[in-house]
Structure 1
Amino acid sequence: MIMIPQEVIRRKRNGEVLGKAEIDAFIRGLADGSISEGQVAAFAMAVWFSGMSLDETVALTLAMRDSGEVLSWADIDKPIADKHSTGGVGDNVSLMLAPIVAACGLAVPMISGRGLGHTGGTLDKLESIPGYDIKPSEALFRQTVKEAGCAIIGQTADLAPADRRLYAIRDVTATVDSVPLITASILSKKLAAGLQSLVLDVKIGNGAFMVGREEAETLARSLVGVANGVGVKTTALITDMNEPLADAAGNAVEIENCLAFLRGEKAGTRLEAVVMSFAAEMLLTSGFAASPTEGIDLARRALASGAALERFAQMVHLLGGPADFAERSQAYLPKAPIVLPVEAPFDGFLQSCNARDVGMEVIALGGGRTRPDEPIDHRVGFSGLKPLGTQLGRGEPFAFVHAASEDQAQKSRARLLENYAIGEEAPATRPVIVSKISE
């Protein structure tokens, strides 16, 4: 039976359930260019309006995965695991998580992305490190995973090429926020990396793409259901993103924050709670821990012993960065010429934060993109961000602006003050781990 694109579009537009063969054929046409951009856009809009069943979403995900190379790690005698975040502000969890679980015995071939909207990108942060190759050859990628236990790189041209074309069209046709399309986009790339287990960080709050808990849990259930449906053991944690997660937001500043974390200097923070929870979940789903408590204990030992920092340093060096980067990061990371404190205008508690606008302010400083081909300034951003609930005295800094010029720094300082509310009473505490989705 010949697949006629417009017939597939019509059936989905009318709310009918597509068969696996139809979806496979349509995605093949999407990947090889035989289906027009207009037809792809119409298909995306039909899915946006009509949705997809679990079986359809599984078929779409697998077809997109199989549009390119699917990696095999048969030569590595370790569980192959990974983590994915839906994106946030000051969310540098992957940078610490991968070496921590690698030090515990997992292999982590992590395919990461650039910044999207107001959220920071792991690859942009890593490019702050001189020489770090985010697009290594497959041989070097494999060597790094074997020797360091982890490698954080970008999507290659051979992995899920159908996703790249479909996403580019979704981005300009108002069909990004479709749960089946988001699910297939995220998982096709992750599954192409040859994973055996996956843990998902689905953010909620004013700094997340999914603001409310209900919509976040809907996406999490779709991701978990599809991934488990294709044989990759997967769970998701819903985490809070109503304020920056780390005490830094930017690129080089988040790398410095990562190193401080791996040196054991971020104990007791919200960031530590998230990193340790995900480390435990990855060790649990991989069979390395019998309980979350045991997983956290293993992760803490990897951190305290210095093994996790050693894995990070090894990964950086194997992928082209300086051999002594972990010891001498200040000699290598780019620094902004202007650093200004952001002081509390009066006594009080940090009550609330517009995390999304903090992320947008990093972009305004030059630390993110407004066009896909735009270069970014790795030096700029914010450091020393105090968590909500902090009691401040008048004139006490709760952040520092890193900027390319005095004018930019002054403007950014004023806007950051607008993004935080300071009041007489301490805000109610919020759990950073909101819920867990396992089926």
Structure 2
Amino acid sequence: MTTLRFDTTEDTATHESMFPIIVASTIGSAIEWLDFFYYGFLAVTVFPAVFFPGLNPYAGVIAAFTTNFVGFVARPLGSIFFGRFGDRVGRKPTLATTLLLIGISTMLIGVLPGYATLGIAAPLLLALLRFLQGVGVGGEWGGSVLLTMEFGNPGRRGFLTSWPQTGALVGLGLSVASLLLFKNLYPGDAFQSIGWRMPFLLSTMLLLVGLYIRLRIPETPAFLSIQQRQQTQSIVRQTWRRYWREILLSALVRSGEQAPFYIFTTFMLSYGIEVLHWDASLLYRGLILAALIACITIPIYGTLSDRIGRRRLTIYGALLMGSWALPYFLFFNSGNPILIILAIALSLGGCHACLYGPQAALIAERFPTQFRYTGATLGYQLASIIAGGPAPIIATYLLSRAQPHSSTYPVWVLIAMYLMAMALISLLAALFLKDYTGQDAVEARV
């Protein structure tokens, strides 16, 4: 029987001392994704009219999604800049900086005048602020994950690093809840003129709370142990030269999680409201329920990955996601409110969570401490360009080009096939990834 060994330099926090660290990483992640997701929802409901007037409905949504995509393009750039910063200066100051950048960009979006006031400068400034928001998000994820990973017990990496992942679904739920709240407080045209701005402005209060909590967390012991041995050569260049295969496979393994997630959240609002004419509040309630379920299932899947292996669980998750694509649309198109909510809840709380729960540990544990922030964030955020960002644009384009009364197949079949293809890419990438579940830190093997 093989005895598992763990690098004790990373196992310094007790169960009690891990609690504030988990809280700090989860809250910061929730704030980050609250701002990022809220923008994505407005790209469907508000931004086409406020920043892209005069376009037909499909073109307006595609233009808004394209501006939304700018944030995804910026995420790998943020991972390069802040990854280098995090591996040079430390996890703690990097997390504070990224949170400030996200918060300031979000606040400025909330006060940005529309096309009627600024003309073409309005969508250009919107794209710039979305870009800055994306840069901050690109550096935020790695720090949140490494905060829990490098303080905690290596034998529980899947569970511990699942909490920043859970923060993303907390942010999703809060963004939808704020959308519902301010739609009720500012009914009709009032929401389009002023109501949509309120969550952007109020998120600055959450930013101050998150910043206060993070500044009270010490630097991780893993980083402190290698800080004096950091080399002066380019960290980004060295990381890519040594770990390019791990970076690319990390990006590809996220395809079956990233693309479906943005189909299940942002695109399905456009599809459900504009094409199927479902009640928007029904879809919003479904998303809130799905986020609540995922907040439970993501840590469960993270814990399960510690037991059966992250690679194996990722393969199971990819198969589950691929097999769910057709039933998802059948449920969603049924018109039955129960089946619609069930489709939304199972897509995020079941299929997506199975891939997302173990993902942080799966990616981060294959890089040594001195390159971990850069390598993990770059691999993670590259998926935003190849999968997450393009997904709503591709789905909207396929929908706009399909024949609505085709006798061959329904208009949504191509989108379902797209989801299956993304799941297949994740499965194939997982087959080529080595599983480090329950093994020593990378430093002990290099």
Bin for the TM-score computed over the shorter chain: under 0.3
Higher strand proportion = 1
> Scaled by the length of structure 1, what TM-score is found?
0.25
Higher helix proportion = 2
> Scaled by the length of structure 2, what TM-score is found?
0.25
